[in-house]
Every structure is written in C-alpha cells, then in structure tokens.
Amino acid sequence: MASLDQHQHRASVRNGLLAALPPGDLARLRPMLRPVELPFDGTLTPAGSEVDAVLFPETGMVSLLAALEDGEQVEVGIVGREGLVGLPLVFGDDRSLTEARVQQEGTALRMDAAALRDGMGGSAALRALLLRYALAFNTQVSLTAACNAFHVVEQRLARWLLTAHDRADGDEFPMTHDFLSLMLGVRRPGLSVAAGALQKAGLIQYARGRMAITDRHGLEAASCECYHAVRREFARLLGGESPPG
C-alpha cells in the first residue's frame, strides 16, 4: 500500500510521468519545470522544426500530425497527461518530422533541452521512465497505422473518441467534423456517416462543435481491439490503474 507521502507526492503533479518519479528525483527537477498554457488549435512544434524543450501536459491533449508534400496531414499519435511532447530530445535529437498541435486546451510543465539532458544524466529513474514511455508511445503509433489501414471508419472513430475521452476532464469536449476528418485521414462525408451511426446508437451526442460521450461501455464495444491493446501496453510498461488508450 502506498504511504501518505507517496500519495501527496503523486497529487502534487498531474502529469503521469512526473508523478511516477521517486520524490527526490522530482524535487531535483522542479526548478527546471515552468508552467505553460496549451491554447486550443495552437501549433507547439511545426513539422521539421527544431525541438528546444519537452512539455509534460497536465491537462488537455496534443496531436502529432504527419505532413506530406502536398499539404495533406494525418494524426499519428496523441499525448495527454500520461506522457510528453518532444520525444526526439529523449534520444538526443532536436528535430521532429511531426507537427504538435493542441486538440484540447490545457496546461503543461515545460523543460528546456539542456535541463532534460541534465535531468536524464542525473536520474536513472527518469531516464528509464522516459525510455519506457517511448516504447509505449511507439505501440500507439504502430497500432494507429494498422488501425487506419484495416478497420472500418466507425471502429476507428470509436477508438479515437475513447482515446480523447481518456485525456479529457469530463464527458464533453470541443470537436468538429473537420478536425476529426483530419485526425483519422477520412473524408468528411464518410466521417459524418460513422458519427451519425454512433449517435443513433446512443453512444455519443454531437452538436455545434461539441462532442459528448454518453455510453462509454457501448463505445468500447463499438471500437476495434487496437484501443485496448494500447492500454495494455501502457499498463505493462508504465504501470498505473487506468492507463490511456
């Protein structure tokens, strides 16, 4: 059973990676962490740009988008309070091929590149934790690619909405058809049909750019196996009672 000090430690930060650190390791990192806002639809890192800091989200959600030469974009990964934005820095690189864009507004703790290097150099726990997170995130990216290639739009939409719901602070969050179309790489008419089917089944309610999850268990049943596979891998690598999908 966790001690009172451990519970207080976990409650002191809302990012899952930071909360998983031993108290002493987190205490050494605290002076290097600066709170920042994550504005809705804001671009945190353009594709191909230099990455000069990592962000540990505490609320909100960030999408990582792959861009093609013709300007088309598709989501390849999602980051919420379970992870961080800026993985190239964990591996000693400072370039990202993906764009990081805020899907749900929130807040994060920012650590610049030099501070991260120092932190990883001085804390074996931080280094190991970030590498395990990178493995878990790689599973999310890999299964997202497989899901988008082989599963029907309705299943893919259910998976994505569950993933977003895990990172939201409630059952309702802002969302537009255009945004969902971009995230799933699906043309808007096909997406509208899928969203209509989920709404008719009573699983979601969608109106005026707001999405509400009304039947979580039903939505899980409508999703493909990819959602739960990612949850299991996050649990295996990072622990926790309710890992994100």
CATH of the domain at 213: 1.10.10.10
Strands 61-67 and 73-79, by their bridges, are: antiparallel
Task: Round to whole Å and give the CA distance between 210 and 119.
Answer: 40
H or E element, residue 119: helix 113-122
Task: Round to whole Å and give the CA distance between 133 and 236.
Answer: 11
Are 15 and 112 within one domain?
Answer: yes
- The residue with tokens 């309702």 is 172
- Those residues of the chain that have pLDDT short of 50 are 1-10, 241-243
Give φ, ψ of 74 to 5 degrees. Answer: -150, 145
Domain membership flag for residue 231? no
CATH at residue 26: 2.60.120.10
* Residue 35 structural domain: 4-133
Structural domain count of the chain: 2
Are 11 and 92 within one domain?
Answer: yes
Domain membership flag for residue 120? yes
Per-residue pLDDT at 239: 86
Per-residue pLDDT at 71: 81
Q: How many helices (H) and strands (E) are present in the chain, helices listed first?
A: 11, 10
